[in-house]
Structure 1
Amino acid sequence: MNNLYRLPQPAFDSDLVPLLFEVERLRADIGTGTTHREIVTELHLLFDTVMSVISARIEGNHTTVYEAVETIGAAEARSFDDHLSEISNIVEAVRYLDTLDPSLPLTHGLVRDLHARTVDGLIREGDPTPGAYREQDVAISGSGHVPPSWVTVHAEISDLLAFANHDRPMHEQMMQIALAHHRFVWIHPFRNGNGRVSRLFTYAMLRKTVFATRGYSALNPAAVFGNDRSAYIAALESADALDDEGTVSWITFFARGIRDDLARLVQLQDHEFVEAALVGPALAQLTRDGILSRADETVLRAVLAAGVVKAGDLESVIPGTASQRSRVIRALLDRGLLRQAQDGPRFYQLSLSRGPLASRLIRRLNELGHLPKILEND
């Protein structure tokens, strides 16, 4: 493996070192919170859509996050326009990654598959050869970097995969992931879609490292890529010279974003915070908007408190017969406010990643400062 993949040795008094310590401290808190796992999983799915909007917006897609959460993943089949299809493709690629065993190595086949899934059916941001490395030399618009010749792409990605799959101690893993992200973009293995695939590749690496032993879905980094598009591009370009100074500058930018995202994730694992500051206010907003009745809100708050319920668990908030409770639950399911839980067909949980609650949660996350700046004007 060549010097492209030599980890830099940051000075002990650099900005990077305390950031790496903070990331390790926050990583230890993953999975230790009080929020019900079902709620954490639903919030993860919601953030998948948020991150997919961010990834597409970096490439010039101006679909709002509200339009995305209200449209993508709806129960009925839809044909999306090109902008929504781009976001939907990214969402589905993330969901696909979540089905894979994180202990498996990252491969050429996975990289090409992610590309095929990402550009599938797209016009504006498609690729004439989905799932295939480029067979021509390219230039990057607005950048002074000239990617390697197409002849070397397969070999370059082989080196990248060897580096990405190498087991490293925890204190080096954040530098490993950041370096791999830059080198992927630097190689520019596809004619189009490189940025979107590089961010999916980074997510795949996070599943193998930071989250490998935590038993929770991986963080899809939003602050790294979404706080400031110009700063993200500039930080990436600072590493194009392949020297230690520029590489440390990029890794510092990356680690700061991961630190911020992990801090938010740890906060979302606090059930009291989720109930009082996030989901509870979203339910109250639905009632003020006339979408929920007071009785509906009471039922949904009971489900929020329990995480997963059976019909009999709601007897105190849905008085009457079992058939009356079933009718109320069926109505909430049909309106996208509840969904069946993984425990079985007669178990229910809140639907947070889609349906009426999703857009109110996005609004509330924005008010709490949990959404990146790239989505500020939505």
Structure 2
Amino acid sequence: MLILAFVNVHFRKCVVKPLHLTIPTPGFDHPIVEDIIALERWKSQTLGGTTHPAVFADIKQVYHLLESLGSARIEGNRTTIDELVEAAVNGVSDSTEGLREISNLEDAMSWIESVFAEESHRRIDHSFLQELHRLTVKNLRPPEVGGEGDPSPGRYRSGNVAIIGTSFVPPPGLDVPELMDRFISFINEPIDVRRSLMRIAIAHHRCAAIHPFRNGNGRVVRLLTYAMLIRDGYRIDQGRIINPTAVFCHSRADYMDGLSDADDGTEASNLRWCAFVLSGLRRELEKVGTLLDANILGPRILQPTIRFAVQSGQITDEMAQVLSRIAKNGDGDASTYRSVYPGKSAASISHIIADHKQIGIIAAYPTIRSRRYVARFSGPALLTALIHTMDAEGYLPFRRDDRGA
């Protein structure tokens, strides 16, 4: 866990000048060049895929839930997957401090998406970062009493801080306003598209180095990375999952080592850090490509999820047959039910459909009054099975031995 100590001492010179805001220049044969080209190709493509859009959105919702858990766990949150699922199923996402922290991160991600949906190239300014911080630490206890909140939500720190467990020393609090002015200018200045991804990586490290808030900096910085990616065109509304948090929580040790290595601010260390971030981002986006392909998503995720839900007693065999057919075809209607429940009257079929909607294993599509239905994998009956399958297939945004389940 990263623990901040608030102290009144004379600080030694920082390990790195946090505002050494330079973007490295890789050689043409450096592997990062291939990553940049691949990521730019992803951005320019129309990735509609063959997966039903409602199913993709459903899986994305679960991804966001796991992203938030992963980001919180980097900071020491010990909420388990089982606890998170139970809270989601029971609708009690704020029943503990750990769950409130995760819920805050989900709210912050939703806020970011709404902001850029209204203004796609919005300037990321002080008020934007301060609102991210306010959302991140909302209703959390301050660190002085063992919490992950901040007594001054949405305000830059004025005092000095030390990060226990690392040799890095953040700049004095009095320097934060000027440093953040320069940082804000850096992340908003016009830049060649080929360098914008490396700027996102550098911005992640430099904002963490400035440590502008008393607490919650790591969570805010990871949300900032998410925001900068969306602003650069990796848009949720274009049908893809942006999962930068997985780059950092895939291995907490590698993430921390990478941050430490970049502390000296040299061209070589900056390039290593950018390569770490962009190769990880490329890996995650390639993973998304498989979710967009119904021929991969169905046999690897959806059908195994349905089978596991039957085995664990969450759904009946008949429910599984209906879900399997709906998942295979993308959606279904009353005729799908009649094929599973032969001989049932129209009224009985209507009652069964209503029950399945109430249980949460299907949802009307595209509106609540529609008579076509899609499988709902994020609902109470299937969520545990879905996460189990995602884990087995390597789709969790953190390693199995780091999940705390």
TM-score by length of 1: 0.91
Shift of 1:314: 4.5
Deviation at 1:166, TM superposition (A): 3.4
AA aligned to 2:383 is: A
Post-superposition offset of 1:112? 1.1
Alignment partner, residue 375 of structure 2: 350
Q: Is the aligned partner of 1:257 residue 2:275?
A: no
Please state how far the C-alpha of 1:374 moved relative to its aligned partner: 3.7
1:278 touches 1:364 (CA, 8 Å); kept in 2? yes
Q: Secondary structure at the match of 2:238?
A: coil
Rounded to whole Å, the distance in 2 between the matches of 1:335 and 1:44 is 21
CA distance in 1: counterparts of 2:376 and 2:36, whole angstroms: 35
| Deviations, residues 25-72 of structure 1 (Å, cap 9, x unaligned) | 444556142111111111111110111111111011121223213313
Contact preservation (8 Å) 1:54, 1:374 = no
Write the letter of the residue equivalent to 1:356.
A
Report the counterpart of residue 45 of structure 1 in structure 2.
Answer: 61
Q: Which residue of 1 aligns with 2:131?
A: 113
Please tell me whether residue 300 in structure 1 is matched to residue 326 in structure 2. Answer: no
**Which residue type is aligned with residue 24 of structure 1?**
E
Query: 1:16·1:252 contact (CA, 8 Å) conserved in 2?
Result: yes
Question: Which residue in the other structure is 2:166 paired with?
Answer: 143
Q: Do residues 202 (structure 1) and 225 (structure 2) align?
A: yes
Aligned to 2:347: 323
Match of 2:83 among 45, 67, 72: 67
How far apart are residue 85 of structure 1 and its match? 1.3
Q: Distance in 2 between matches of 1:323 and 1:173?
A: 58
1:92 is matched with which residue? 107
Please give the secondary structure, in 1, of the residue aligned with 2:396: coil
Distance 1:22 1:143, change over 3 A: same
For 1:191 and 1:342, the matched residues in 2 are separated by 45
Inter-partner Cα distance in structure 2 for 1:311 and 1:160: 57
1:1-378 alignment, distance < 5 Å:
4-29=20-45, 31-72=47-88, 74=89, 76=91, 79-100=94-115, 101=117, 102-123=120-141, 124-212=147-235, 215-311=238-334, 314-319=337-342, 320-346=344-370, 348-376=373-401, 377=403, 378=405
Alignment partner, residue 12 of structure 2: none
The Cα of 1:79 is off from its aligned counterpart by 4.4
Change (3 A) 1:256 1:330: same
The residue type paired with residue 136 of structure 2 is T
Q: Measure how far apart 1:323 and its partner are.
A: 2.9
1: CA distance, partners of 2:336 / 2:28 = 55
Q: What amino acid sits opposite 2:212 in the alignment?
A: P
Between stretches 6-15 and 302-311, larger displacement belongs to 302-311
Aligned partner letter, 1:151: L
Identity level (%)? 31
3-state SS of paired residue (1:139): strand
Write the distance in 1 (CA, Å) between the matches of 2:377 and 2:229: 24
- Say which is worse superposed, 13-22 or 213-222, in terms of deviation: 213-222
- Which range moved further: 299-308 or 195-204? 299-308
Partner Cα distance (1:354, 1:291) in 2? 11
For residues 64 and 364 of structure 1, the distance between their equivalents in structure 2, rounded to whole angstroms, comes to: 16
Moved more, 195-204 or 76-85: 76-85
Structure-2 separation of matches of 1:163 and 1:312: 58
Shift of 1:297: 1.1
Which residue of structure 1 aligns with residue 4 of structure 2? none
Where does structure 2 lack aligned partners over 5 or more consecutive residues?
A: 1-17, 142-146
Letter matched to residue 228 of structure 1: S
Q: Which runs of 5+ in 1 are unaligned?
A: none
Decide which moves more: 268-277 or 322-331: 322-331
Give 3-state SS (helix, strand or coil) of 1:138's partner: strand
Conserved? CA contact 1:133–1:191, under 8 Å: yes
The CA deviation at 1:304 is 1.8
> Is the CA contact (8 Å cut-off) linking 1:153 and 1:187 kept in structure 2?
yes
Which digits, 9 at most, give the CA deviation of each residue in 1:257-284, with x for residues without a partner? 1011011001111001111110111001
Give 1 or 2 for the bigger CA radius of gyration.
2
Q: What is the alpha-carbon distance in structure 2 between the residues aligned to residue 77 and residue 229 of structure 1?
A: 28
The answer to whether the 8 A contact 1:133-1:154 is kept is yes
- Tell me how far 1:210 sits from its aligned partner: 4.0
Decide which moves more: 89-98 or 260-269. 89-98
CA distance in 1, matches of 2:365, 2:213: 39
Aligned residues: 376
Separation (CA, whole Å) in 2 of partners of 1:94 and 1:341: 25
Distance 2:399 2:26 in 1: 30
Query: Separation in 2 of the partners of 1:186 and 1:78?
Result: 31
Cα distance, 1:109 vs. partner?
1.6
Query: What are the superposed Cα offsets for residues 342-373 of structure 1, whole Å, 9 maximum, x if unpaired?
Result: 53433543222342322212111121122244
RMSD, aligned α-carbons: 2.4
